């Protein structure tokens, strides 16, 4: 048994000063304050005095890190996952972007095979298939040679049980509504993205089963007051959740604040959309089968672009994303935490097990300094990262 004491426990719902967590068999046994929970004699004790303890961070869109790209080499998922706890990420969706469909199948096989013996790290919750059913006019960094129109036959092997949890597609394409209905019926979260959908096309897709918007404002029409398009539909529909990349490059800080005002902590998820250069120096990297040049940027993070100048994912770590969200929006930490914990967990339908600190949930925890630097990450009760 593990006992964490003297923590400031912070979740989207509650703050517990002088808090205590009991963990057994990878799950939270009890959570409360020092007066209500005694330390069992046989427990290993962690003194978290002076630290914040929060739920582990969940990233719904991650293309790779440490030089590895999931689309190009799906077998690197477990290797990358082992390093993600340094940024507080305890679970995530490995993202496979537009490519031959066999790349998705290989990623499914990688997850089905499970981790190597003795492995520890961030838990892959399933795949995010971003494409190949995207609008060529909003392809972004996706190779147009691999784009295709939606057909249900192409996704016959996609389901949560087969490790596909989130699918991004352009809902205005021929055949898209049938695919949306099919995937939704299987329990997959279907997202609108890389799209030229009008407002009315977007609303029809929402009625068919779209529940999410991929990297709001990026790879979609501009928000206009007479033609609100997909971003206007996403922002104005109270039932829709959206992802946003708060690196100061993909979306201007003032527009991040606008999205926050419209959606709030329960309908906004912070994603990194990070690519292979995360954790690496500037240089040349891959996103799927395309070269990406990573350089320094005035916003204080690295910038990833194709030779054409098109943005190609980010080099944003999740702890930095959380800090920037607070700066850009002026929100408090508890509200900001929801966007990387409870809200993505709820979107995936796993809010009872992840994204919150409560009895019965997986013991996925992040220890933060008052300046929100990660000093320890625990996944399923085991320490996977700790500073010296």
The two beta strands, 89-97 and 57-62, are parallel
The stretch 261-270 carries a mean pLDDT of 98
pLDDT at 227: 96
Picking from 32, 43, 42, 44, the residue whose alpha carbon sits closest to that of residue 7 is 32
Strands 2-10 and 15-24 come out as antiparallel
Residue tagged active-site, from 59, 69, 237, 273? 273
Mean pLDDT within 189-193: 98
**Whether the Cβ atoms of residue 29 and residue 340 lie closer than 8 Å to each other:** no
Confidence of residue 352 (pLDDT cuts 50, 70, 90): very high
- Assess whether pLDDT exceeds 90 at residue 128: yes
Which token pair is 386? Answer: 């700790």
**Mean pLDDT, range 78-107, rounded to an integer:** 98
**Per-residue pLDDT for 346 more than 90?**
yes
What is the pLDDT of the chain when averaged over all its residues? 97
- What confidence category does residue 283 fall into, taking pLDDT thresholds of 50, 70 and 90? very high
Instruction: Judge whether 273 counts as a catalytic residue.
Output: yes
Nearest to 339 by CA among 216, 225, 236, 222: 216
Band (337; pLDDT cuts 50, 70, 90): very high
Locate all alpha helices (DSSP H) within 165-305, ordered by sequence: 176-186, 199-208, 229-236, 253-263
The rounded distance, in Å, linking the Cα atoms of 238 and 65 is 33
Instruction: Report the alpha-carbon distance of residue 294 to residue 129 in Å, rounded.
Output: 24
Mean pLDDT score, 324-335:
97
pTM above 0.85, yes or no: yes
- Among residues 99, 92, 101, 233, the alpha carbon closest in space to that of 166 is found at 92
> Rounded to whole angstroms, how far apart are CA atoms 85 and 307?
31
> In sequence order, which residues have a C-beta less than 8 Å from that of residue 19 and are 6 or more positions away?
4, 6, 7, 8, 9, 31, 32, 33, 34, 53
CA 219, 247, 292, 285 dihedral sign is negative
Reported confidence tier of residue 151, pLDDT bands at 50, 70, 90:
very high
> Is the pLDDT confidence value at 130 over 90?
yes
């Amino acid at each position: 048994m593990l006992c964490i004491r003297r923590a400031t426990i912070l979740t989207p719902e509650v703050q517990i000063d002088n808090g205590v967590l009991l963990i057994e068999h990878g799950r939270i046994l009890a959570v409360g304050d020092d007066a209500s929970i005694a330390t069992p004699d046989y427990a290993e004790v962690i003194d978290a005095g002076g630290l914040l303890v929060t739920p582990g961070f969940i990233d719904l869109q991650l293309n790779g890190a440490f030089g590895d790209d999931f689309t190009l080499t799906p077998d690197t998922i477990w290797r990358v996952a082992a390093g993600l706890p340094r940024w507080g990420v305890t679970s995530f969706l490995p993202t496979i972007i537009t490519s031959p469909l066999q790349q998705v199948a290989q990623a499914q096989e990688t997850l089905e095979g499970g981790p190597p013996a003795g492995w520890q790290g961030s838990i892959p919750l399933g795949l995010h298939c971003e494409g190949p059913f995207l609008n060529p006019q909003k392809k972004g960094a996706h190779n147009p040679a691999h784009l295709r129109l939606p057909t249900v036959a192409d996704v016959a092997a996609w389901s949560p049980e087969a490790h596909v949890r989130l699918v991004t597609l352009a809902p205005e394409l021929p055949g898209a509504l049938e695919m949306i209905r099919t995937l939704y019926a299987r329990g997959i979260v279907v997202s609108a993205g890389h799209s030229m959908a009008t407002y009315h096309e977007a609303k029809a897709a929402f009625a068919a089963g779209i529940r999410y918007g991929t990297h709001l404002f990026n790879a979609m029409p501009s928000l206009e007051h007479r033609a609100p398009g997909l971003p206007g539909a996403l922002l104005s529909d109270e039932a829709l959740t959206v992802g946003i990349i708060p690196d100061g490059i993909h979306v201007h800080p003032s527009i991040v604040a606008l999205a926050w005002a419209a959606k709030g902590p329960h309908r906004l998820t912070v994603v990194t959309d990070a690519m292979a250069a995360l954790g690496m120096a500037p240089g040349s990297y891959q996103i799927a089968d395309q070269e990406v040049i990573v350089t320094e940027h005035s916003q204080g993070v690295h910038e990833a672009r194709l030779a054409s100048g098109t943005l190609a994912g980010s080099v944003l770590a999740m702890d930095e994303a959380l800090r920037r969200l607070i700066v850009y929006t002026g929100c408090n930490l508890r509200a900001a935490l929801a966007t990387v914990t409870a809200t993505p967990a709820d979107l995936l339908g796993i809010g009872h097990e992840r994204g919150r600190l409560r009895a019965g949930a997986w013991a996925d925890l992040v220890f933060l300094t008052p300046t929100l630097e990660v000093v320890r990450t625990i996944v399923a009760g085991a320490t996977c990262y700790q500073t010296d």
